[in-house]
Structure 1
Amino acid sequence: MIFPGSRYAATEVVELTVPDGVRRRSLAGRRIPRTPGVLEYVVLDGERLDTLAARFYGDPRKYWLILDANPEELDPLELLRPGRRIQIPRDRTGPR
């Protein structure tokens, strides 16, 4: 079940047949919209994505907004390297 307002709400559900013949439903890959940062932030030692999301959006579950705004780095731990400059985008999810 995908909840209304989820970043996956508009993602297509696809049906796949696995090698043993069982049919499985899955979400297609999510297209990440261009997400320009509006704030450049320098990561401090010990920071985490959930605490940054809580600080900037008031909700630690919105950490994925920061990941979407920094697509050049696929490793969240590398993204949080102290001294690294990252982009913090606007909250495009609207009020929850």
Structure 2
Amino acid sequence: MTVLFPGSRYATTPVVAPEAADGVARRVLQPRAVPPTPGVLEHLVVQGERLDQLAGRFYGDPKLYWLILDANPEVLDPFTLLTPGRRIRIPRDRTVGR
């Protein structure tokens, strides 16, 4: 059973059951489409910054860190994303009004 908390960004994501190499079908969430991120701010990462801190600063909610991850899809590792001196994109909060 797949359980998602109310308001999750995955709440409307379909559950699929693809067959794995071992022949077993496992229920998983279908990959979520990440919308384009217009209206971004560029931020220069400094030593010690964390995604939750940046989300708290820019959105007022540290749990919205995933917006920053979505806006920087070329970097899949959050630790690489937060390398000091790296420029990252901070998008608008697209959760407002949901």
Shift of 1:38: 2.0
Shift of 1:17: 4.8
2:31 to 29, 32, 48: 29
- Within 2, Cα distance between the matches of 1:20 and 1:30? 24
Structure 2 residue aligned with 1:86 = 88
Structure 2 residue aligned with 1:53 = 55
Structure 2 residue aligned with 1:40 = 42
Q: Contact 1:52–1:63 at 8 Å: present in 2 too?
A: yes
- Larger strand share, 1 or 2: 1
- Partner secondary structure for residue 26 of structure 2: strand
Deviations 1:48-74 (A, max 9, x none): 001101111111111000000111111
Provide structure 2 residue ranges, at least 5 long, that are not aligned to the other structure.
Answer: none
Task: Report which stretch shifted further, 84-93 or 37-46.
Answer: 37-46
TM-score by length of 2: 0.82
Query: Percent same amino acid at aligned positions?
Result: 65
Aligned residues: 95
- Within 1, Cα distance between the matches of 2:28 and 2:80? 29
Deviations 1:14-54 (A, max 9, x none): 12455375x53211111111123521111111100011011
- Within 1, Cα distance between the matches of 2:37 and 2:31? 17
Task: Report which stretch shifted further, 47-56 or 28-37.
Answer: 28-37
* Runs of 4+ off more than 4 Å: none
TM-score by length of 1: 0.84
